[in-house]
């Protein structure tokens, strides 16, 4: 389990030499080590960043071709019992109108998304086993099988048996963010609820893999930790560990930056655009075959400029409200969407950049 080496990796990060070796020498290597990765992350030279970006683009085009896979999230319930200080769906937020789609409404939403061309669906719920139990989620997955080849969930951490049950019903992948790998900070941000269990969450990807899922996406929420490079490093090392331990499973990473939400604490987004680009491109140089996702949390122009520089998958036409596609809910979303363009607009941008938008990751058998 990754939790068994997490403390060792934490010490390695803080004890590593952040400077010393010339970055230009590192960039000439075919592959880099994790200590060289740290040096890239800490580099503040703009000319060096240009070289990092260029190498990242070369590696991405070589390993993934000029394609960008498009996906969209579908929120089917926003009931949540966790008291997380940074989340719009937190149980602390008494102003949120709680809603849960029934199976008929879920099918209407999925039909609407299929008509837009999507073949990959990400199903999301809050953490509430009463209002979003495993049978309810399995029902949503069964419906999704009628429309999509790739079915992922982003819900609460499950047991091995629960993941296995969902796989038997058609689940192909799991997205689960650790938010921060700083255990002390994690404990302060999660006042109560099932999500407060740091290790149960960090070990969830492996339980899901052992239960039979074919793809895992992990990530950290940049802006929670002042030392965001620590979280970037641990996320990348976690992904590398999963790839090495489970080579038959598709692994991807997300580095979303926290945006305005109905949170109980004031969040200062301390991660600049420049640093964000450096995190993505440096990760690509370290992890040359791992997918990197980009969400609609980021602004339009910024997302456009990241196409071809390391990312392999983008969300498009996203709604963070429950029933936001067909039911047309106007309720409070989990977070603020920055890129509100239509799917057609995103497709045009990708093509204009010389890349090919794809809706299918693999063919359903």
pLDDT digits (tens, 9 = 90+) for 129-179: 999 999 999 999 999 999 999 999 999 999 999 999 999 999 999 999 999
**Nearest-angstrom CA–CA distance, 316 and 118:** 10
Going through the chain in order, the beta strands assigned E by DSSP cover 67-75, 120-124, 150-154, 173-179, 215-220, 250-254, 291-294, 313-315, 356-358
Structural domains in the chain (count): 1
Q: Which domain holds residue 76?
A: 3-358
- Top-confidence residue, 341 or 53: 53
pLDDT surpassing 90 at residue 252: yes
Is residue 103 within 8 A of residue 140, CB to CB? The reply is yes
From CA 343, how far away is CA 348, in angstroms rounded?
Answer: 9
**Residues pairing with 75 in the sheet:** 124
**203 contact partners, CB below 8 Å, separation of at least 6:** 1, 2, 3
Q: What is the pLDDT of residue 97?
A: 86
CATH label of the domain that carries residue 146 = 3.20.20.70
Residue 317 has pLDDT above 90, yes or no: no
Structure tokens at 47: 């000319």
Q: What is the mean pLDDT of the chain?
A: 91
Side-chain-facing half-sphere of 32: CA atoms under 13 Å: 30
| Cα angle: 137, vertex 139, 140; to 5 degrees | 65
Confidence category of residue 95, pLDDT binned at 50, 70, 90: confident
Lowest-confidence range among 50-59, 300-309, 327-336? Answer: 327-336
Q: How many CB atoms lie within 10 A of CB 12?
A: 15
Asked whether residue 365 is assigned to any structural domain, the reply reads no
Residue 363, domain member (yes or no): no
Provide the Cα torsion 317, 323, 326, 331; round to 10°.
-80
pLDDT-derived band of residue 270, with 50, 70 and 90 as boundaries? confident
- How many C-beta atoms surround the C-beta of residue 203 within 10 A? 18
Per the structure block, which two tokens stand in for 242?
Answer: 């999963």
Q: Is the pLDDT of residue 335 over 70?
A: no
Which range of 84-93, 230-239, 267-276, 307-316 scores highest in mean pLDDT? It is 230-239
Confirm whether 291 is domain-assigned.
yes
Residue 166 counted as domain residue: yes
- What is the token pair recorded at 56? 């990242």
Domain annotation covers residue 50 = yes
Q: Check whether 363 has a pLDDT greater than 80.
A: no
Task: Tell me what percent of the residues of the chain surpass a pLDDT of 90.
Answer: 75
| pLDDT of 293 strictly over 80 | yes
Q: How far is CA 316 from the centre of its chain?
A: 14
Q: Report pLDDT for 261.
A: 57
- What is the C-alpha separation between 186 and 263, in angstroms, rounded? 15
Tokens of 62: 């070589």
- Asked which of 17-31, 52-66, 175-189, 283-297 is least confident by mean pLDDT, the reply is 17-31
CA distance 241 to 235: 10
255 contacts 235 by C-beta, under 8 angstroms: yes
pLDDT for 337: 62
Bridge partners, residue 216, by sequence: 174, 251
Q: What is the pLDDT of residue 362?
A: 61
- Residue 360, pLDDT score: 80
Q: Is the pLDDT of residue 269 over 80?
A: no
Distances (CA, A) of 186 to 178, 202, 312: 9, 11, 29
Above 60 in pLDDT, residue 263? Answer: no
pLDDT band at residue 20 using 50, 70 and 90 as cut-offs = low
Name the pLDDT band for 291 (thresholds 50, 70, 90). very high
User: Mean pLDDT over residues 272-295, rounded?
Assistant: 96
Distance, CA of 75 to CA of 95 (rounded, Å): 18
pTM for the structure as a whole? 0.93
How far apart, in whole angstroms, are the C-alpha atoms of residue 166 and residue 105? Answer: 20
Dihedral sign (CA 130, 135, 139, 142): positive
pLDDT of residue 8: 95
Contacts with 167 (C-beta within 8 Å, 6 or more apart), sequence order = 211, 212, 213
Residue whose pair of structure tokens reads 């600049």 in the numeric block: 272
Beta bridge partners of 293: 254, 313
Q: Tell me, what's the pLDDT at 260?
A: 62
Q: Is residue 257 part of a domain?
A: yes
Q: Which pLDDT belongs to residue 17?
A: 83
Q: Check residue 92 and give its pLDDT.
A: 78
Token digits of residue 73: 């999230």
Model confidence at 330: pLDDT above 90: no
Q: What's the average model confidence in pLDDT over 228-253?
A: 97
* 364 found inside a domain: no
Model pLDDT, residue 354 = 94
């Amino acid at each position: 389990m990754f939790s068994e080496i997490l403390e060792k990796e934490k010490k390695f990060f803080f004890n590593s030499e952040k400077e010393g070796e010339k970055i230009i020498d590192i960039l000439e290597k075919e592959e880099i080590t994790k200590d060289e990765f740290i040096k890239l992350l800490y580099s503040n030279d703009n000319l060096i960043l240009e070289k990092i970006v260029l190498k990242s683009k070369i590696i991405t085009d070589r390993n993934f071709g000029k394609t960008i896979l498009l996906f969209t999230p579908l929120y089917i319930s926003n009931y949540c019992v966790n008291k997380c200080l940074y989340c719009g769906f937190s149980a602390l937020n008494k102003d949120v109108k709680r809603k849960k789609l029934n199976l008929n409404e879920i099918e209407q939403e999925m039909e609407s998304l299929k008509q837009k061309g999507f073949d990959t669906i990400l199903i999301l719920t809050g953490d509430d086993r009463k209002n979003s139990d495993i049978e309810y989620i399995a029902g949503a997955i069964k419906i999704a099988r009628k429309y999509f080849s790739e079915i992922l969930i982003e819900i609460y951490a499950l047991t091995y048996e629960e993941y296995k049950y969902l796989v038997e019903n058609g689940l192909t992948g799991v997205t689960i963010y650790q938010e921060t790998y700083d255990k002390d900070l994690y404990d302060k941000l999660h006042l109560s609820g099932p999500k407060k269990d740091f290790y149960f969450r960090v070990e969830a990807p492996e339980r899901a893999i052992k239960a039979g899922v074919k793809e895992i996406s992990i990530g950290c929420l940049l802006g929670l930790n002042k030392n965001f490079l620590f979280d970037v490093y641990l996320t990348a090392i976690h992904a590398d560990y999963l790839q090495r331990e489970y080579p038959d499973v598709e692994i991807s990473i997300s580095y979303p930056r926290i945006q305005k939400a109905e949170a109980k604490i004031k969040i200062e987004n301390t991660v600049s655009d420049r640093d964000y680009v450096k995190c993505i491109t440096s990760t690509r140089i370290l992890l040359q075959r791992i997918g990197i996702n980009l969400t609609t949390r980021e602004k339009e122009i910024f997302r456009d400029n990241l196409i071809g520089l390391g990312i392999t998958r983008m969300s498009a036409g996203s709604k963070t409200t429950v029933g936001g596609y067909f039911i047309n809910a106007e309720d409070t979303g989990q977070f603020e969407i920055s890129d509100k363009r239509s799917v057609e607009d995103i497709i045009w941008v990708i093509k204009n950049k010389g890349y090919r938008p794809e809706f299918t990751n693999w063919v359903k058998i």
